[in-house]
Amino acid sequence: MIPTSRRPADHLLIGGDLPVSRMGFGAMHLTGPGMWGEHPDPEHCVRILRRAVDLGVTFIDTADAYGPGTNERIIRKALHPYPAGLVISTKGGLLRTGPGDWTGPSPYVMPLGRPEYLRQQVELSLANLGVDTIDLYQLHAIDPTVPLDEQIGVLATLQDQGKIRHIGLSGQPGITVADLDRARALAPIAAVENLYNLAERTGTVTLNHAEHHQLAFIPWFPLGHGQLAGCDSPLAPLADHFDAKPAQLALAWLLHVSHATLPIPGTTSLHHLEQNMRATDIHLTPGDLDLLTSTIDAAGLTTWAPPNEIAAHA
């Protein structure tokens, strides 16, 4: 990673031909409790999505597992027919068992990468989103019980058929450099989505690798699980110095730490959405980046990550 005192680029290219604004939107929380079922106020979700686009968001992240299916459908309700330049990224390859499987106490979500299942899920996502081609389709987690060439191979076949434009990999919690190299030997990979934020930097090696190979790096949980935002954030004492909210500082750090990052903060609050988007106006120097990093490290802050045994399986 190369820190810079210049304002970070406003856009990046996914797959070399798909320009998106650097601050995306993660739609996961526009579902019911536990990312299960419909949100209790679907019209509010519609307002959130439309406001995000009004504010300049051109990249929205979702997945078939959010709902399941309801998240993709609320995006369609809010934004279809989609404005020119809006990129919808979705994911497939996780099994859900109920509203507690991402947050406990139910068994954690599990990968399913059988080719016939992935093919079905792509078709469902096409229908849910109301599109003929999915701009970026990501394998939500690598299934260790299915050969990777079969998982990537079926997505490559669907890409050849025009149903997927670009292929990406997502991890629970992260895709490794070895995972990326194996996948890139099978098909062009345009993006990687990993758990990554100011307090959880385990994926830095993968980020550097993605940047080197001109892949988009999409940090999920860019604000931790909320621990980097709010008045109790370790960044709160620095807010006055930077004239910014803690969440804005955490997002600005991601934008500056690499030109490959594409943060996707999600929220159900219009106020927080507008605050998050203003993080793109913050300019940080290399010294500022070091200050933010050292502040978090000194606080010993840890953020949520999948259970170790699940991370090892997925």
Would you name the residues annotated as active-site residues?
66
In 3-state terms, what secondary structure has residue 294? helix
User: Are 169 and 179 contacting, i.e. CB atoms less than 8 angstroms apart?
Assistant: yes
**CA 74, CA 86: separation in Å to the nearest integer?**
15
User: Are 272 and 250 contacting, i.e. CB atoms less than 8 angstroms apart?
Assistant: no
Q: Tokens for 232, please give them.
A: 């109790």
**CA 258, CA 256: separation in Å to the nearest integer?**
6
Cross-sheet strand order for the sheet of 87-92 = 25-26, 59-61, 87-92, 134-139, 164-170, 191-195, 216-220
In 3-state terms, what secondary structure has residue 94? strand
Fill in the amino acid letter for 33.
P
Backbone dihedral angles phi then psi of residue 240, each to the nearest 5 degrees: -65, -40
Residues 6+ apart with CB under 8 A from 313: 110, 111, 144
240 burial (CB, 10 Å; 0-12 / 13-18 / 19+) is: exposed
256 burial (CB, 10 Å; 0-12 / 13-18 / 19+) is: buried
Could you tell me which of 76, 150, 75, 78 has the C-alpha nearest to residue 112? 150
Residues 6+ apart with CB under 8 A from 309: none
